[in-house]
């Protein structure tokens, strides 16, 4: 009888379920996004290595949503001598200084990288030391990395990212070909593997990189004074390494004991966790909104069920007159309410899955998988909403006096 009533009022039932559908869909979609974010962070952290830190004069060298403060900009730059001093620490396995010429670097102009008139899209020129591949886990697809001899002699050799190789050479091997980097000729000695991808699509940074010897880029860009240090710890002493580097830099930079660091130390995990923090803040806002949607849906269910009780007063009187108990009436109306919200929950789960697929298309590298707990929770919560908000109308129906109900017009 409950199912017949829902089928008889299809439009009213569909409108009643809208709030439940929206709330459940939001829970599923946000849970999918957060799960994918966590998997992305874990993958990126493992790619760089859990024992690596980045040291910069800026407090936060991860994902920034504002320009560095004036206090950060006027700090002393890190130097090659700082890198050499850090390399002497017993807990440090290797240190590699890096300077950048490109879109998020101090240089005033966008670098140009081209081959036979074809220009690469938004290239980033990285000046790196010969041990950069060991410290940063550079994955070479073809060719080799630069040598200490090439670094010392300011050789004009380059290792290019997969995106640069594809845009300049297509299917041809770039090895031993000469490319033009900011007006100077460099010989390609290596090609990096294609990176897993950026978080929200587009070319990842690794695919747009052109790695050249540190001293060569320093010779051509003496105006770039800001460098970043990549520091890898020896096995089992990561925490001690961070403390050792912090203490050494504070001493070298003359930081008083009562003052905060005038430099920043970040791990790959901390960098990507800053993205996760933004997602968590979004979830704190969105989950209550989805809860509000479920509340609105529950109020809608209660309203419709109260109307249904009024419409079916005579039917209730007939059932009570021929022997139906109060419990039978309660379960009839509760079944109707739970069915409405349960079906709404199932529809919301399907729509949330479709949103997850859309998110996967928007950000192909984001493994937006729907956790089982979100599906179970979404369905149970939607059914619970029906149970809670259908209880009062059901009890009201059960309390009707059979004689008065039979006389109701």
Question: Average pLDDT of each block of 10 consecutive residues along the chain (409 residues)?
Answer: 76 80 81 74 66 84 60 85 92 92 60 89 90 87 92 92 90 91 92 71 74 92 88 89 92 88 78 63 69 76 80 80 83 84 87 82 67 79 82 81 72
Return the axis-axis angle of helices 268-311 and 10-48, rounded to nearest 10°.
170
**CA Rg, the chain, in Å?**
32
Taking the C-alpha atoms of residue 154 and residue 42, their distance in angstroms, rounded to an integer, is 37
| Beta-strand runs (E) in 225-301 | 228-233, 264-266
Q: What is the pTM of this model?
A: 0.64
pLDDT at 342: 86
Taking the C-alpha atoms of residue 18 and residue 247, their distance in angstroms, rounded to an integer, is 59
Taking the C-alpha atoms of residue 290 and residue 295, their distance in angstroms, rounded to an integer, is 9
| Beta-strand runs (E) in 258-345 | 264-266
Query: Angle CA(36)–CA(40)–CA(46) in degrees, nearest 5?
Result: 145
pLDDT at 211: 94
Displacement of CA 6 from its chain's centroid (Å): 41
pLDDT at 61: 62
Beta strand pairing status for 178-181 and 228-233? unpaired
Residue 182 φ/ψ, nearest 5 degrees:
50, 45
Cβ-based neighbour number of residue 74 at 10 Å: 10
pLDDT at 65: 47
Tell me which residue of 121, 120, 79, 76 sits closest to 99, measured CA to CA: 79
pLDDT at 42: 67
3-class DSSP assignment, residue 54: strand
What tokens does 212 get?
């050249």
What tokens does 108 get?
């005033």
Query: Angle CA(253)–CA(255)–CA(256) in degrees, nearest 5?
Result: 155
pLDDT at 271: 58
Residue corresponding to tokens 């000469």: 178
Taking the C-alpha atoms of residue 114 and residue 168, their distance in angstroms, rounded to an integer, is 7
pLDDT at 105: 46
Decide: 139 and 223 in contact? Cβ < 8 Å.
Answer: no
Decide: 203 and 158 in contact? Cβ < 8 Å.
Answer: no
Query: Angle CA(397)–CA(403)–CA(404) in degrees, nearest 5?
Result: 65
Taking the C-alpha atoms of residue 35 and residue 29, their distance in angstroms, rounded to an integer, is 10
Taking the C-alpha atoms of residue 281 and residue 259, their distance in angstroms, rounded to an integer, is 30
């Amino acid at each position: 009888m409950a199912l017949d009533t829902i089928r008889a009022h299809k439009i009213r039932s569909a409108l009643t379920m809208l709030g439940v559908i929206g709330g459940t869909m939001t829970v599923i979609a946000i849970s999918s996004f957060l799960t994918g974010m966590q998997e992305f962070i874990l993958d990126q952290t493992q790619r760089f290595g859990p024992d690596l830190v980045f040291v910069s004069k800026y407090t936060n060298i991860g994902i920034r949503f504002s320009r560095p403060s004036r206090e950060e900009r006027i700090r002393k730059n890190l130097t090659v001598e700082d890198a050499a001093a850090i390399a002497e620490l017993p807990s440090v396995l290797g240190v590699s200084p890096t300077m950048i010429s490109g879109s998020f670097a101090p240089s005033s102009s966008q670098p140009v990288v081209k081959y036979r008139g074809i220009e690469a899209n938004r290239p980033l020129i990285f000046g790196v030391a010969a041990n950069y591949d060991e410290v940063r886990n550079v994955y070479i697809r073809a060719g080799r990395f630069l040598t200490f001899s090439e670094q010392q002699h300011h050789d004009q050799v380059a290792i290019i990212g997969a995106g640069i190789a594809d845009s300049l050479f297509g299917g041809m091997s770039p090895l031993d070909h000469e490319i033009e980097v900011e007006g100077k000729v460099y010989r390609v000695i290596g090609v990096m593997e294609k990176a897993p991808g950026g978080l929200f699509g587009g070319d990842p940074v690794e695919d747009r990189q052109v790695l050249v010897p540190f001293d060569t880029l320093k010779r051509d860009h003496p105006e770039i004074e800001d460098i970043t240090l990549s520091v890898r710890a020896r096995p089992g002493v990561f925490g001690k390494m961070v403390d050792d580097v912090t203490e050494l830099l504070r001493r070298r930079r003359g930081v008083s004991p009562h003052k905060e660091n005038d430099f920043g130390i970040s791990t790959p995990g901390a960098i990507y966790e800053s993205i996760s923090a933004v997602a968590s803040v979004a979830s704190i806002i969105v989950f209550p909104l989805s809860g509000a949607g479920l509340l609105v849906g529950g109020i809608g269910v209660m309203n419709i069920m109260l109307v249904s009780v009024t419409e079916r007063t005579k039917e209730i009187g007939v059932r009570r007159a021929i022997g139906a108990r109060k419990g039978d009436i309660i379960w009839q109306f509760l079944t109707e309410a739970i069915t409405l919200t349960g079906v709404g929950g199932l529809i919301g789960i399907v729509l949330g899955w479709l949103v997850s697929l859309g998110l996967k298309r928007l950000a192909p590298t984001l493994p937006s998988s729907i956790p089982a707990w979100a599906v179970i929770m979404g369905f149970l919560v939607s059914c619970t909403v029906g149970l809670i908000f259908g209880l009062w109308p059901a009890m009201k129906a059960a309390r009707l006096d059979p004689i008065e109900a039979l006389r109701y017009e």
